[in-house]
Amino acid sequence: MNGAASARRPAAGEATASGRAAAATRTGPGGRPGSGKSSEAAEGHGSGAAGKSRRFQAVTRDTARPEGGGRAAPGDAPAPARQWPLLAVLGATGLGLLLVAFDAFRVGTLLIGLAMIGGAALRWALPSVGMLAVRSRFTDMFTYGGLGVSIVLLALMAQPKAWLKIPFLDDILHFTVR
């Protein structure tokens, strides 16, 4: 046999030792190809585009803290004091649920809605609200405020003897129930 025969290329299904090693360096978590970086790209060698994958990482390594998600009190304060905005909203919501459980439905539901509106106001007014910050400031304010206003309106319109009567809603209800 000549030298050309010993240096033959592998067939389509065959793999060489160097090919297996290169494929192993490009597989990411879970063994999926293309989700990791090659060893050359990780070390900063090579052309740059050859070893990088355009896919998102299979495993998230870290997340960004939401804006305003820092401590609401100094770091040496006890944990409950650092999270007072969240505890205030949760306390008011818990008190509202307790009132609903003791058959004061309208007052308890109003308190829950006002707690959500208060959470939106705290998110707007304070630069750092601890774990009350879940998303961006705008999204948190919109979510807390929208839920709070809708809960308050529904509590005011609840039957029997609604405290808030909106005439066109009665017309819509009678139109759909006919």
Q: What is the pLDDT of residues 46-76, one digit of tens each?
A: 455 566 777 776 776 766 667 666 767 777 7
Helix 105-125 × helix 84-101 angle, to 10° = 170
> Residue 103 pLDDT > 70, yes or no?
yes
Please write down the long-range contacts of 31-40, taking CB distance under 8 Å and 24 or more positions apart.
Answer: 32/58
Instruction: Output the CA angle 47-53-54, nearest 5 degrees.
Output: 115
> Residue 42 pLDDT > 50, yes or no?
no
> Residue 143 pLDDT > 90, yes or no?
yes
Higher pLDDT, 8 or 174: 174
Residue reference for tokens 């139109």 = 175
> Residue 43 pLDDT > 70, yes or no?
no
